[in-house]
């Protein structure tokens, strides 16, 4: 019997390669995956590449116990790097991601590959977050959301769980509208707008009440994890067993940069839902996500390299900028966004 939504999965993979990654005839499409990846998604993407008359290459290996540079000792480094450097497009489906690993750094430094991070993508998520989404409308919404944020020098974020944090933005730093692929570079799943505030201005409390990953033991949270932040650095972590496990994991790297705020983002994919898969959780409508640890050079921030990276979700966020409220209790309320929100929701077939 065919896999769940097999026709829709192939259609969604084709949409990913054609509409988002803009794959052209004759291009090499490298697909990385590990033993934690969804095989139906991998197979559908290989088929979609063939339908576009591209040349798919699958790189598959056992799942490392860590992500980022902490995964380096478990990777087939030289052949992996060589293959990826010679690809035109790289789609990452790894469960333990290569993002921020040494091979990833070197491929991105070369500046010739269009890379997209789809870590842990499963078949249902592919259909929900790409196949049934009006991609042009979502990209239009993200562009306007980024513009509104760029115009806000000072911002404050609060949530019902207790987040209350303030910071300033640097107008010279980029704000990324994920999934908007325009040539070589690193891209993420559509439905997210992210940036790095001025690190030393980030002060207050960040409360993760949605999910956190990694470490592997976490995912959807039963109890909130409270981070006290001073000048962009986490100085104290409070909560139950999940908070203790999170703090122990951060300390295990013996790297002070693991406690620094690397970036934050809005979630705005109408098809995303909280599942424990951080890739999707970051894009749930109306959440705010914070990343700690390694900071990609593309953010043009001050954190730099770290041994790993983790992300946490704050639900039902309220975000206030210089021009007033952007998000309020998890809903986009800025006047400039109202019509686009209606059009985007109406055109979503989830």
DSSP string, 136-197: HHHHHHHHHHHHHHHT-SEEEEE-TTS-EEEEE--TTS--EETT---SSEEEE-SSEEEE--
* Statement: residue 212 has pLDDT above 60: yes
* Statement: residue 60 has pLDDT above 70: yes
Q: Of all helices (H) and strands (E), which one includes residue 11?
A: helix 6-15
Residue 161 to residue 329: CA distance in whole angstroms: 11
* Statement: residue 348 has pLDDT above 80: no
Specify whether the backbone of 57 is left (phi greater than 0), alpha (psi in -120 to 50) or beta. Answer: beta
Residue in this structure with the two tokens 């952007």, named with its chain if needed: 326
Tokens of 280: 């999707």
Q: What is the predicted pLDDT for the residue at 264?
A: 97
pLDDT tens by residue, 79-123: 999 999 999 999 999 999 899 899 999 999 999 999 999 999 999
Residue in this structure with the two tokens 């207050």, named with its chain if needed: 204
Give the CA count within 13 Å in the CB-facing half-sphere of 334: 24
Residue 276 to residue 284: CA distance in whole angstroms: 11
Q: What is the predicted pLDDT for the residue at 5?
A: 57
The answer to whether the beta carbons of residues 284 and 211 sit under 8 Å apart is no
Q: What φ, ψ does residue 183 adopt, rounded to 5°?
A: 100, -175
Residue in this structure with the two tokens 């993760």, named with its chain if needed: 208
Helix axis angle, 39-51 to 6-15, nearest 10°: 60
Residue 125 to residue 138: CA distance in whole angstroms: 16
pLDDT tens by residue, 157-189: 999 999 999 999 999 999 999 999 999 999 999
Residue in this structure with the two tokens 């599942």, named with its chain if needed: 275
Q: How confident is the model at residue 1 (pLDDT cuts 50, 70, 90)?
A: very low
Q: What is the predicted pLDDT for the residue at 168?
A: 98
Mean pLDDT computed over 191-198: 97
The answer to whether the beta carbons of residues 119 and 97 sit under 8 Å apart is yes
- The overall average pLDDT reported for the chain is 95
Beta bridge partners of 265: 194, 289
Residue 48 to residue 27: CA distance in whole angstroms: 13
Residue 301 to residue 26: CA distance in whole angstroms: 37
Q: How confident is the model at residue 347 (pLDDT cuts 50, 70, 90)?
A: confident
The answer to whether the beta carbons of residues 159 and 209 sit under 8 Å apart is yes
Which SS3 state, helix, strand or coil, does residue 76 take? coil
* 222 to 187, 211, 249: CA distances (angstroms): 31, 9, 18
Give the CA count within 13 Å in the CB-facing half-sphere of 228: 5
Q: How confident is the model at residue 251 (pLDDT cuts 50, 70, 90)?
A: very high
Weakest mean pLDDT among 2-16, 173-187, 190-204: 2-16
* Statement: residue 349 has pLDDT above 90: no
pLDDT tens by residue, 37-58: 999 999 999 999 999 999 999 9
More confident residue, 267 or 70: 267
Q: Of all helices (H) and strands (E), which one includes residue 345?
A: helix 338-346
Q: Evaluate the CA torsion angle 9, 116, 246, 271 in order and state its sign.
A: negative
pLDDT tens by residue, 296-319: 898 999 999 999 999 999 999 999
């Amino acid at each position: 019997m065919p896999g769940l939504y097999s026709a829709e999965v192939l259609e969604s993979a084709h949409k990913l390669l054609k509409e988002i990654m803009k794959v052209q005839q004759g291009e090499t499409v490298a697909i990385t995956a590990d033993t934690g990846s969804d095989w139906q998604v991998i197979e559908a993407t290989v088929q979609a590449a063939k339908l576009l008359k591209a040349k798919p290459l699958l790189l598959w290996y056992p799942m490392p116990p860590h992500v980022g540079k902490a995964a380096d000792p478990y990777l087939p480094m030289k052949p992996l790097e060589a293959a990826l450097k010679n690809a035109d497009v790289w789609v990452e489906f790894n469960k333990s991601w290569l993002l921020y690993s040494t091979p990833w750094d070197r491929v991105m430094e070369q500046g010739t590959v269009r890379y997209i991070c789809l870590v842990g993508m499963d078949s249902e998520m592919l259909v929900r977050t790409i196949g049934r989404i009006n991609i042009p409308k979502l990209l239009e919404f993200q562009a306007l959301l980024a513009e509104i944020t760029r115009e806000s020098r000072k911002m404050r974020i609060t949530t019902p769980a207790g987040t209350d944090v303030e910071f300033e933005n640097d107008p010279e730093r980029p704000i990324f509208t994920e999934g908007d692929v325009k040539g070589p570079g690193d891209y993420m799943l559509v439905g997210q707008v992210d940036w790095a505030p001025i690190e030393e201005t980030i002060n207050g409390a960040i409360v993760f009440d949605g999910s956190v990953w990694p470490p592997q033991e976490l995912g959807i949270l039963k109890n909130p994890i409270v981070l006290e932040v001073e000048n962009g650095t986490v100085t104290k972590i409070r909560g139950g067993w999940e908070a203790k496990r999170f703090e122990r994991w951060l300390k295990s790297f013996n790297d002070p940069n693991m406690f620094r705020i690397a970036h934050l983002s809005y979630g705005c994919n109408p098809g995303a839902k909280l599942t424990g898969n951080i890739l999707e959780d970051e894009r749930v409508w109306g959440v705010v996500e914070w990343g700690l640890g390694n900071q990609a050079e593309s953010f043009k921030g001050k954190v730099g390299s770290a041994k790993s990276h983790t992300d946490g979700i704050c639900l039902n966020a309220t975000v206030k900028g210089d021009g007033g409220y952007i998000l309020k209790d998890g809903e986009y309320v800025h006047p400039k966004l109202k019509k686009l929100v209606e059009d985007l929701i109406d055109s979503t077939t989830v």
